[in-house]
Structure 1
Amino acid sequence: MMVNRILLEKIQKSMDFFPVVGIVGPRQCGKTTLVRQLMAESHQKFTYLDCEHPRDLAKLTDPVLFLESNQDKCVVLDEIQAKPGLFPVLRSLIDVQKKPGRYVILGSASPDLIRDSSESLAGRISYHELSPFNILEVHRRSELTNHWFRGGFPDAFLQEDDDLRSEWFYNFVKTYVERDLPMLGLGLSPSVISRFWRMLATIHGNLLNKSNLSKSLEISYPTISRYLDFLEEAFLITQLYPFSANLKKRLVKSPKIYLRDSGVLHHQLNIHNYDELFGHSILGVSWEGYIIEQIRQKLPTG
C-alpha cells in the first residue's frame, strides 16, 4: 500500500538546486520507498546503491571510478552511515562539476552523528528529515487511535495483526540494540542498551532525572548525558525543554523525555493491543508524546 509522503515535493525542489540531497531518519521509516517513488516520478536517470549490501559495496571499491562513470545519472547512496569515507570523495567530485541533483544520500542517523558528513559537504547539501508516517499522511486510511497505538513506522502501522506487529517491533528493537547503535558508536553492550531504552520508556513524559539513570545503570552522569544526546541524534527519543524567555534558565532546567514513536513506546512497555493501552498508567503521557511528535514533524527545521 503506497502512502504519499509530504516530504517528496520538498526533496524534488531541493534537487533542482543542490548537488546533494540528504534524507535522514530512523531505520525502517520509509526512506528507501520514498526515494524509489522519487526515481519513478523523475525524468532523470538514477543508479541506486545500498552501502550495506556486499554486491553494491564491491562496486565502491574504487568510488571515484564508479561515481565518475555514472556522471550522467543521479547516484543514490542508501545507508551511507555504513561508508562515511564516501563524503570526502563526493566533495571532491562536486567541486570539479557542481551541478544540481548529482547525488541523493540516505542515512539512519543525523548529519551530526555521521562522521565527516557535515564538514565535507557543507554548502553542497540540503538535508531533510523523514519521520515515520504522520497523521496527515494516513488520516484517510486509519482512525487516529490506530495511528497512536501502532505508531508511524510503515510496516507496523499497516500490519493489522497484533501478534505480527509485536514480532516486527521485537526485531526492530533487536536490530537497533545489537547492530545499528553500536555501529554508530554507542559504546554500550547490547544488554545495557536494551535496559537503557526500556528505562527511558518507563519515564516517558516525565522530567528527566539523569542521576537516577546513572545509579540504576551504574554509568557516570556525563556518560548518561552523552548517550541521551546520541539516542536523540538517532531519532529515537526527544528531550523537550521548558519554555522560558530567559535562555539560560531554559537550558539549565530539566527536560521531559519522550520516545518519539508511540508504537515503539508501547512495545517497550509490553502493551500489545489497544485495550491494554487503555488500562495502562502510561495512557496520558503516551497521548501527550504522540501529539508532541505530530506537531514536531510540522515545525520548520533549524
Structure 2
Amino acid sequence: MKRTYEQLIQHHFADHTQMALLTGPRQVGKTTTSRSIQSKNNTYYFNWDDIEDRERILQGGQTIAAYIDIDRLRDTLPLIIFDEIHKYSQWKSFIKGFYDRYHTQCRILVTGSARLDVFKKGGDSLMGRYFYYRLHPLSVNELLNRAPSDTDIQKPLKIADTKFLNLLNWGGFPEPYLKQEQRFYNRWTRLRKQQLLREDIRELSNIQELGQLELLATLLQHQAGELTSYSTLAKKTRVSVDTIRRWIVTLESLYYCFSIRPWTKNITRSLLKEPKYYLWDWSQCTDKGARNENFIASHLLKAVHYWTDQGLGEYELYFLRDKDKREVDFLVSKNQKPWFMVEVKSSIKEKLSPTLAVFQKQLLLKHVFQVAMDGDYVDQDIFTLDKPTIVPAKTFLSQLV
C-alpha cells in the first residue's frame, strides 16, 4: 500500500538538505514508507535493534560513511536511514556529527517509534538540521489514494461504505486493516501491546511497576474521550497522582495514547480542566460511541499534524467545555485562532446540538459541524458552509488528510 507520507518525504529531500525525522507508533508503516522512497541500490538502512548495525553506529560516523562508500560519485545522493536510533543514549550527538560532516554527500532519514521531539524541552542541539514529520495510521482520505495537496482542506470524494466500515472496525494500522481477519487481529494487537508496554518501556524508561502500568493503559483504553481524573486513576492503580502523570507522559511518548486539552480563550465561564485522552489505535475502544469519537479524534490529530509538518501553518486540536457543562467534542485552531468545530454523533437522525451555535457565537467560528457516523456520502464541499450543519462523516473526513 502506497502511503501519502512517501510523497511528502520525497518532496522534502527534493527541496531541502535538512534531515527528515519521521516518527509514529509501532507497526504504523515507518520502515516500509522510508525504504520505498528511493531505489534499493541507493538506500542504506541501519536499525539500532540489529546487532551488526548497532556495532557500526557505535564505531562512529566514519564507519558508516566507509561502509556505504560515501565518496563514490552517483547519479543521485544516497539515502541513509537510521531506524530506532533514539534507543542509543548518545543518538543526538551521533546524528549531529554525522550530519555536519556528510550532509552534502547524502540525505538522512531518522525514524523511530518514540517521539523524537521530546528533546526540545532540554534544548535542541539539532536545531536547523532537521524537519519533523509524524506518521499516522491510515485515514479515509489516504484510502482514497489522492496525491498530497498544497492546501489543508481538499475537495470531497466518495469512499466505499465497506472501506469506511473496515477502517472504523479494524483500525488504521496497515497489517490488521489489510488482513481483516479476527484471529490475526487478536494476535497482532496482543503482541503489539506486549512490545510497547514491556520491551519499549523497559528500554526507554526506568519504570519498574510494569503490571500497574499495564493496568493504567487498560483504564485509559476504557475511558477514551472522557474527562480525566488523575486522582481516580491513582487510586485504581495504587500509585501517586504525580506517578500517574509521569506514566501517561511516557505512554504518550510511545504513541499509545494522545491528549487533547480544553480551549480556554474567549470562552465565557470557561472551565480549566485536565485533558482528555484517546488511543492511537481506535479499534481498541470496545464501546461504539467511544470508538466513533476516537475515530474522528484520530483523523483530526492526523490532519493538524500533517498540515503543520507540511508548513501550511500552526494547527492545534482542542475540546470545548464551560462551567455550565456545555461541551463540544473538538475545536481545530489555525495560527492560534479558532477555525472549525466538530461534534460527533452516531446517527444522522440526531437533532443539531444547540451548544454548537452558542460556542460559534462566542468564538466567531467560520465552520461548525455535527458529524454523523452513519450518514450517506454527500458530494458537497462542507467547508463552504457558515452555520452549524449536520454532515456525514464520509464527506467530512474525505476533506482532511
Give the alignment's TM-score, normalised by structure 2.
0.65
Structure 1 residues 201 and 148, CA, compared in 2 at 3 Å: closer, same or farther?
Answer: same
Which of 185, 206, 209 pairs up with 2:226?
206
Quote the residue 2:240 is aligned against: 220
CA distance in 2, matches of 1:296, 1:22: 18
Matches within 5 A, 1:103-142: 103-113=108-118, 119-139=124-144, 142=162
Structure 1 residues 153-162 or 135-144, which shifts more?
A: 135-144
**Bigger strand fraction:** 2
Matches within 5 A, 1:1-302: 3-16=1-14, 17-40=16-39, 45-69=42-66, 70=68, 71-72=70-71, 73-99=78-104, 102-113=107-118, 119-139=124-144, 142-185=162-205, 187-245=207-265, 252-263=272-283, 265-266=284-285, 269=286, 282-299=287-304, 300-301=307-308, 302=314
Query: Which residue type is aligned with residue 87 of structure 1?
Result: K
Instruction: State the shift of 1:114 in Å.
Output: 6.2
Please list every run of 5 or more consecutive structure 1 residues that lacks an aligned counterpart in the other structure: 270-281
**Preserved CA contact (<8 Å) 1:87 1:117:** no
Query: Which residue type is aligned with residue 254 of structure 2?
Result: A
Q: How many residues align?
A: 282
Query: Which residue type is aligned with residue 17 of structure 2?
Result: F
Quote the residue 1:274 is aligned against: none
Structure 1 residues 80 and 185, CA, compared in 2 at 3 Å: closer, same or farther?
Answer: same
Deviations 1:195-226 (A, max 9, x none): 11101011111101111001111111122112
Instruction: State the shift of 1:186 in Å.
Output: 5.6
Give the alignment's TM-score, normalised by structure 1.
0.84
Quote the residue 2:334 is aligned against: none
**Preserved CA contact (<8 Å) 2:46 2:83:** yes
CA distance in 2, matches of 1:108, 1:88: 19
SS of equivalent residue, structure 2 residue 125: helix
CA RMSD of aligned residues (A): 2.6
Identity of aligned residues (%): 23
Instruction: State the shift of 1:160 in Å.
Output: 2.4
Query: Which residue type is aligned with residue 243 of structure 1?
Result: W
CA distance in 1, matches of 2:207, 2:27: 23
SS of equivalent residue, structure 1 residue 132: coil
**Preserved CA contact (<8 Å) 1:20 1:101:** no
Quote the residue 1:277 is aligned against: none
CA distance in 1, matches of 2:55, 2:110: 18
Please list every run of 5 or more consecutive structure 2 residues that lacks an aligned counterpart in the other structure: 72-77, 145-158, 309-313, 315-401
**Preserved CA contact (<8 Å) 2:43 2:80:** yes
Structure 1 residues 20 and 95, CA, compared in 2 at 3 Å: closer, same or farther?
Answer: same
Deviations 1:225-278 (A, max 9, x none): 12222222222212212222159x979322222112212x24xx5xxxxxxxxx
Structure 1 residues 251 and 33, CA, compared in 2 at 3 Å: closer, same or farther?
Answer: farther
**Preserved CA contact (<8 Å) 1:84 1:116:** no
For CA contacts below 8 A with separation 6 or more, give which structure has more relative contact order: 1
Structure 1 residues 93 and 238, CA, compared in 2 at 3 Å: closer, same or farther?
Answer: closer
CA distance in 2, matches of 1:9, 1:101: 19
Structure 1 residues 89 and 260, CA, compared in 2 at 3 Å: closer, same or farther?
Answer: closer
CA distance in 1, matches of 2:165, 2:199: 32
**Preserved CA contact (<8 Å) 1:241 1:250:** no
Structure 1 residues 94 and 56, CA, compared in 2 at 3 Å: closer, same or farther?
Answer: closer
Instruction: State the shift of 1:152 in Å.
Output: 0.9
State which structure, 1 or 2, has the greater radius of gyration over its C-alpha atoms: 2
**Preserved CA contact (<8 Å) 1:19 1:101:** no
Structure 1 residues 206 and 100, CA, compared in 2 at 3 Å: closer, same or farther?
Answer: farther
Deviations 1:155-178 (A, max 9, x none): 111122211211111111111111
CA distance in 1, matches of 2:241, 2:170: 33
CA distance in 2, matches of 1:105, 1:118: 19
**Bigger helix fraction:** 1
